[in-house]
Amino acid sequence: MKRLPKYCSGKTARIKTLYLAGAALVLLAAFLGILLGSTPLKFSEIINAAGEGFSSTAAGRIFLYVRLPRTAASLVCGAALAVSGAVIQGVLANRLASPSIIGVNSGAGLAVTLCAALGIYGGWRLSLFSFLGAFGAVMLISLGSRRWGASRGTVILIGVALSSFFNAISNAVVTFIPDIGVMSNDFKVGEFSGVAYQRLIPSAILILITIVVLFTLTNELDVLSLGEEGARSLGMNTSAMRTLFLMLAASLAGCAVSIAGLLSFVGLIVPHAVRRLSGSGSSSLLGLCALYGGAFVCLCDTAARTLFSPYEIPVGIIMAFLGAPFFVFILIKGKGGHGDA
């Protein structure tokens, strides 16, 4: 029997190269993230500390309690937000949609603020409430836009309004209970300083599980991107599938917000760049978004704490500097929402 052409595997030479480059970039970002900072570490110091016990040397303690959780958090949050953005854009058929723009992050931020007001600062409960906040926001957008037949541009505007509304509630809570310590400037723009394992581990586990589940649903995401009628004609229960995808995307965004605050633009920039490079289906899109999203945020975070060392700026500022012009670029190019931005 004739052999199948190479393109049937879905992994063309271009995609394989992108995966390899992405993996190399993640390693480089992780390496730099661990070694660079206000107190630079040497690789040999970490190896020595591993032999003697990390708590026994200053370098070991910096590695174990500062750099490792911080680097892991930036990689995990970047991957989560980029994949979340790719999923939301696919489900809403709107390339301008991303967790930060349509209010998903703000929904999670509100949940984190309420948690703090209730004395919950970490653990599974924080992750759960963040997810609920993000899910509530994304469902409001999804149901509202379908019910009112909103155009893609209107969906974005509804999202912006919703985002402001959630932020206003969060700010009101902080005004009345100033001691809760969230909705600080750092939280609003997103940052990784002081990330503790207690806050990182539950959310990171949920993020990893969600990404694995999403990888089993890439064909479904592709079919959903054919539009309502196209997906239904292939036997898909579109309402159920859309809700499932939005839940998974909200889980990713919610967990990322519970770790890092309201990081913006990752979910917009990375899926766009990956789409332009790969031009392929959801399977490659999600995988590459996870790699490049993680590497991008990790590199931005390293830049945020080394550019003006010994001063550190929140990583969200660096990302907004890159993301805002990129957003305008997409609008001007008219590519958002298939030319219907």
Partner 1 sequence: MLELNNIRAGYGKRQILNGVSLTVPKGKLVTVIGPNGSGKSTFFKSAAGIIPILSGEILIDGTKAADLSRSETAKKIAYLAQGKSVPDMTVFQLVLHGRFPHLSYPRRYTEKDKRLAIAALEKTGLAERAEIPLSSLSGGMRQNAYIAMALAQDTDYILLDEPTTYLDISHQLSLMKNLRELAKEGKGVAAVLHDLPLAFTFSDIIAVLSGGEITACGEPLKICKSGIISEVFGTKLNYSEAESCYYYKY
- What is the per-residue binding string for partner 1 in 299-338, x denoting contact by CB under 8 A? ---------------------------------------x
Residue 233 binds partner 1 (CB under 8 A): yes
Q: Specify the residue, 139 or 241, whose C-beta has the smaller distance to partner 1.
A: 241
Q: How many residues make contact with partner 1 (CB under 8 A)?
A: 31
Q: Which of the residues 274 through 303 are near partner 1 (CB under 8 A)?
A: 275, 279-282, 285
Q: Which of the residues 2 through 21 are near partner 1 (CB under 8 A)?
A: 4-5, 7-8, 10, 12
- Alpha-carbon gap, residue 36 to 337, rounded angstroms: 39
Q: Which of the residues 36 through 95 are near partner 1 (CB under 8 A)?
A: 93
- Alpha-carbon gap, residue 113 to 166, rounded angstroms: 10
DSSP character string of 124-154? HHHHHHHHHHHHHHHHHHHHHHHHTT--HHH
In 3D space, the residue among 124, 121, 258 whose CA is nearest the CA of residue 179 turns out to be 121
- Alpha-carbon gap, residue 100 to 79, rounded angstroms: 14
- Alpha-carbon gap, residue 150 to 138, rounded angstroms: 15
> Which of 55, 154, 198, 219 touches partner 1 by CB under 8 A?
219
- Alpha-carbon gap, residue 135 to 191, rounded angstroms: 22
- Alpha-carbon gap, residue 298 to 137, rounded angstroms: 27
Q: What are the tokens at 152?
A: 């893609």
Q: Specify the residue, 108 or 223, whose C-beta has the smaller distance to partner 1.
A: 223
Q: How far is CA 46 from the centre of its chain?
A: 29
Q: Specify the residue, 239 or 309, whose C-beta has the smaller distance to partner 1.
A: 239
> Which of 19, 222, 243, 247 touches partner 1 by CB under 8 A?
222
Residue 151 binds partner 1 (CB under 8 A): no
CB of 26 to partner 1, least distance (A): 23
Q: Specify the residue, 51 or 235, whose C-beta has the smaller distance to partner 1.
A: 235
- Tell me which stretch binds partner 1 (CB under 8 A): 54-62, 124-132, 172-180, 234-242: 234-242
Cβ neighbours of residue 15 under 8 Å, at least 6 residues apart? 278, 280, 284, 288
Q: Specify the residue, 121 or 215, whose C-beta has the smaller distance to partner 1.
A: 215
> Which of 157, 177, 234, 332 touches partner 1 by CB under 8 A?
234
- Alpha-carbon gap, residue 229 to 194, rounded angstroms: 48
Q: Specify the residue, 237 or 309, whose C-beta has the smaller distance to partner 1.
A: 237
Query: Alpha-carbon Rg of the chain, whole angstroms?
Result: 20
Residue 198 binds partner 1 (CB under 8 A): no
Q: Specify the residue, 93 or 201, whose C-beta has the smaller distance to partner 1.
A: 93
The owner of tokens 């990752």 is 266
Which residues contribute to the site for partner 1 (CB under 8 A)? 4-5, 7-8, 10, 12, 93, 216-217, 219-220, 222-223, 225-227, 229-230, 232-237, 275, 279-282, 285, 338
